[in-house]
DNA sequence: GCCCAGGGGGCTC
DNA sequence: GAGCCCCATGGG
């Protein structure tokens, strides 16, 4: 089977199995971008606790993030781990928002994808996966998000090299799938669901994996 | 106690 | 380029 057919077949199979994932779970685009930083190497349940703390203080907005002290921000996001690093990252990100669009997300969305990605990657603490998550899930740009599960699953099934770089994996998906943000949105979320259930690090082979016979 | 989570940066070779 | 370590909490 060709890669294009195979990728769509896998998508259909995962969608039939897990249904729509409804990503990204957030009330605002700003919340999505904050969550993208907080979830770095962190279980989502812990991110939710941090976000709830911020919401309780009514501080989940660009202006609040600009005005809040670093120490107070650290205290609020503590449950998400790496809080010393992440508080600084959130401040850097907030500075970017005000310098590029006066803290207004609707203005940020008007800028073109390549430019935005370049600028996001210049921010300390935002790498490829975080930048692409922001572009896709907050700004609605058609960018495929690659994570550890994506590499693990698709290399185990022989579709990409085991040590393929982020860009190589991303190109593989974007060159073989139609450029649709809704498709990219759902596909990545489905991959994460599959990975959580069937493709852990410590289990090299997944006998019950839904993709076993493909 | 152990392993890992919806990564990224800094360093070495 | 690859490999290693650090960041830190909380759930299983």
The answer to whether some atom of strand B lies closer than 7 Å to the beta carbon of A79 is: no
Task: Calculate the angstrom distance between C1' of B2 and CA of A78.
Answer: 23
Yes or no: say if A142 and A105 are a contact pair by the CB < 8 Å rule: no
Whose C1' is closest to the CA of A78: which nucleotide? C9
Asked whether the predicted pLDDT for residue A204 surpasses 90, the reply is: no
Lowest mean pLDDT among A48-52, A133-137, A160-164, A202-206: A202-206
Average pLDDT over every residue of A103-114: 97
Whose C1' is closest to the CA of A137: which nucleotide? B6
Nucleotides of B under 7 A from a protein CB: 3-10
Look at residue A202 in the predicted model and tell me its pLDDT: 63
Nucleotides of C under 7 A from a protein CB: 1-3, 7-11
The CATH classification of domain A29-138, taken from the options 3.30.450.20, 1.10.3720.10, 1.10.340.30, 1.10.15.40: 1.10.340.30
Q: What CA dihedral angle connects A121, A77, A48 and A10, to 10 degrees?
A: 30
Asked whether the predicted pLDDT for residue A174 surpasses 90, the reply is: yes
Average pLDDT over every residue of A155-171: 93
The answer to whether some atom of strand B lies closer than 7 Å to the beta carbon of A126 is: yes
Counting residues of chain A whose pLDDT is more than 90, the rounded percentage is 89
Yes or no: say if A155 and A198 are a contact pair by the CB < 8 Å rule: no
Q: Can you tell me the distance from the alpha carbon of A18 to that of A24, in angstroms, rounded to the nearest whole number?
A: 16
Average pLDDT over every residue of A23-35: 97
Tens-digit pLDDT profile for residues A65-77: 999 999 999 999 9
Residues with Cβ within 8 Å of residue A189, at least 6 apart in sequence: A21, A22, A23
The position carrying tokens 């060159």 is: A175
Q: Domain residues of chain A, as ranges?
A: 3-22+146-198, 29-138
């Amino acid at each position: 089977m060709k890669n294009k057919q195979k990728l769509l077949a896998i998508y259909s199979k995962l969608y039939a199995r897990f249904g729509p994932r409804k990503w990204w779970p957030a009330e605002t685009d700003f919340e999505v971008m904050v969550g993208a930083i907080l979830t770095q190497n962190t279980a989502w349940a812990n991110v939710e606790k941090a976000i709830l703390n911020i919401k309780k203080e009514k501080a989940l907005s660009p202006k609040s993030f600009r005005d809040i002290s670093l120490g107070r921000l650290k205290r609020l996001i503590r449950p998400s781990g790496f809080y010393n690093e992440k508080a600084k990252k959130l401040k850097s990100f907030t500075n970017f928002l005000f310098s590029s669009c006066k803290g207004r997300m609707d203005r940020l969305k008007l800028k073109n994808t390549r430019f935005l990605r370049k600028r996001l990657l210049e921010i300390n603490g935002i790498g490829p996966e975080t930048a692409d998550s922001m572009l896709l899930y907050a700004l609605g740009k058609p960018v495929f998000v690659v994570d550890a599960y994506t590499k693990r699953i698709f290399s185990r099934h022989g579709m990409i090299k085991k040590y393929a770089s982020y860009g190589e994996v991303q190109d593989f998906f974007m060159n073989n799938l139609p450029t649709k943000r809704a498709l990219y949105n759902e596909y990545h979320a489905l991959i994460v669901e599959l990975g959580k259930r069937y493709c852990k690090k410590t289990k090299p082979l997944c006998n019950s994996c839904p993709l076993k016979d493909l």
